[in-house]
Amino acid sequence: MKKLLTALKRCVVLGAAALAIVSLQPVSAAQAAERVVGGTRAAQGEFPFMVRLSMGCGGALYTQQIVLTAAHCVGSTGPNTGITATAGVVDLQNSSGRVQVRSTYVYRAPGYNGTGKDWALIKLAQPINLPTLKIATTTQYNSGTFTVAGWGANREGGAQQRYLLKANVPFVSDAQCRSYSGYSGLVANEEICAGLPSGGVDTCQGDSGGPMFRRDASNAWIQVGIVSWGIGCARPNAPGVYTEVSTFASAIASAASSL
């Protein structure tokens, strides 16, 4: 999610039981409901690993029974049956092919305090029979052009969307990202920036926890980031900030094996 005045995580609270965990520049994520800005509709089945979470965040199937999302989207580690994962459709109102499964457990990154380490796992009550999204285990793919997708807003301050949107955003180096106003707190080796200098294309509130991905050497999708925060949505010189998945790949694998 992006930072509006002070940095704001990109999730949206959709119910009293849902939690919005703010970053070290905290503003309630409940202030905005948003999605991919400057994007186009994804085709049915184009990104079958995409998951919509009932607290107003996105995610991706790490395994058929575990969703990888952002730490700021969930509460503390432990049993949790209050989250519903929706998958199998790009249109959230389309009941044909839609799969909805409740959570049983949440694992939030150890040491998460709003700065960096913005990843979490949600175990589902039963597997979802859809393709999973593998994650990067090295920095090999942490550059180039990435794809982002989500059901968040299509403009800053906008509303949650019915259809899954997709967009492409280019890599922004740590040095360049830190040079922008509000980004000096970027956590090296834990976060990665992406976006156009001119703005216009970006993730936004409601996209938190969703994947940032690209093609690997075998032309398969591989996840390199998790939507985390930013300044506003699609503003010039204000890229999106994503959890650098490769940094936490071993920890994610270890946590998943214990669930």
Question: Annotated active-site positions, please?
Answer: 72, 118, 208
Cβ within 8 Å of residue 208, ≥6 positions away: 1, 9, 10, 11, 12, 29, 56, 57, 58, 69, 70, 72, 73, 152, 227, 228
**Which tokens go with 211?**
């994947």
Q: How far is CA 35 from CA 57, 130, 154, 239, in A?
A: 10, 23, 5, 15
Residue of 73, 83, 102, 106 lying closest to 259 (CA atoms): 106
**Which tokens go with 198?**
């001119």
Residue of 86, 159, 158, 172 lying closest to 122 (CA atoms): 86
Residue of 53, 59, 1, 60 lying closest to 32 (CA atoms): 1
* Residues 135, 127: Cα–Cα separation, whole Å: 19
